[in-house]
Structure 1
Amino acid sequence: MNNVAGDRLTAAQLYEILRLRVDVFVVEQECPYPEIDGRDLLPTTRHLWTEDFGSYLRILADPDGVSRIGRVVTAKAARGKGLSAELMKAALDHIGDADSVLDSQTYATGFYAKFGFVPEGEEFLEDGIPHITMRRLRVAR
């Protein structure tokens, strides 16, 4: 498992991350969208990926102080091996007890619910794909 701040990524790591995200989100899901959004190299952005870049996600620091999990992706050849679950556990370990949010493709809400995320608001289209915002509230101790 790799966990690297945006300003610590090597060129080769960034290349592999962008290649995976484009392969799945742009090519496989046929969603031409601006993949490079200016947030990947920020020191507050965390990138988590499994060996060989089979699965990946990033954690953003939203302006309101909430951690935003995004770009959760698994390569077609690596699916069904539990890699995304492994990454989600690592992401939540990194975030700790703080509130966190993500925008889930609606078919994946059951997956995120296993990690304590609950839908909020209305379904919306992002790049032609139905999504819903999901939130995991601060864990009371």
Structure 2
Amino acid sequence: MNFKVVPFKALTPQQLYTIYHLRVTVFVVEQTCAYQEVDDLDLTAEHLLGVDTDGRLMAYARLMQEPNQQARIGRVLVNPADRGHGYGQLLVQTAIEQIQQLWPETTQIKIQAQHYLDQFYQSFGFKPVSSVYLEDDIPHQDMILTL
């Protein structure tokens, strides 16, 4: 899998369609959550695309710079057809590395993690900073990685 970071303005119509199609497939259909999946954060985010040699989207995450030397990782997903091969680990590690390259002054990375993935994110050094709460009827927990 090859990764590239693309700002919203540089996404091609085909890339944007593929991103939105896969995000809706995973976050709305698969997780049965009716919510506004496409939002204004897309406009200012950096979009991390993990693609195969044919350019097919295998993994995706949204990277956002925040105030106070913080950044956020969101919309983390692996294409259902590509799960079970360790691509999630590769995606999160690459997201952390890309944030450090894009915004070297970053001291913390935040994520709103689905609670069942708590141990997965802790393996990268993320620490829980909130109680478990429901977001779209799915248990989540806020976590922070201090760099």
Contact 1:9–1:41, Cα closer than 8 Å, also in 2: no
Residue 60 in 1 paired to residue 64 in 2? Answer: yes
* Rounded Cα–Cα distance in structure 1 between residues aligned with 2:67 and 2:33: 27
Q: Where does 1:28-67 land on structure 2 (aligned, <5 Å)? A: 28-42=30-44, 45-51=45-51, 52-67=56-71
For each residue in 1:72-129, what CA deviation from the matched residue of structure 2 results, as whole angstroms up to 9, or x when unmatched? 0112111011112111111111122631000000000111111110111111100000
Other-structure match for 1:71: 75
* Rounded Cα–Cα distance in structure 1 between residues aligned with 2:22 and 2:134: 22
For each residue in 1:18-75, what CA deviation from the matched residue of structure 2 results, as whole angstroms up to 9, or x when unmatched? 1111001100110011011112122xx1111211111110111224441000000112
Contact 1:101–1:136, Cα closer than 8 Å, also in 2: yes
Other-structure match for 2:131: 122
* Rounded Cα–Cα distance in structure 1 between residues aligned with 2:64 and 2:142: 15
**In structure 2, do the counterparts of structure 1 residues 106 and 75 end up closer, same or farther at CA, with 3 Å as the change threshold?**
same
Gaps in structure 2 of 5+ consecutive residues? 101-105
Other-structure match for 2:15: 13
TM-score, normalising length: structure 1: 0.90
Q: CA RMSD in A?
A: 1.3
- Percentage of matched positions with identical amino acids: 40
Contact 1:56–1:84, Cα closer than 8 Å, also in 2: no
Other-structure match for 2:91: 87
Q: Where does 1:103-122 land on structure 2 (aligned, <5 Å)? A: 103-122=112-131
Other-structure match for 1:135: 144
Deviates more, 1:87-96 or 1:18-27: 87-96
Contact 1:58–1:71, Cα closer than 8 Å, also in 2: yes
Gaps in structure 1 of 5+ consecutive residues? none
Other-structure match for 2:5: 3
Secondary structure of the structure 1 residue equivalent to 2:37: coil
The count of corresponding residues between Structure 1 and Structure 2 is 136
Give runs of ≥4 in structure 1 deviating > 3 Å. Answer: none
* Rounded Cα–Cα distance in structure 1 between residues aligned with 2:123 and 2:25: 26
* Rounded Cα–Cα distance in structure 1 between residues aligned with 2:97 and 2:109: 12
* Rounded Cα–Cα distance in structure 1 between residues aligned with 2:117 and 2:10: 30
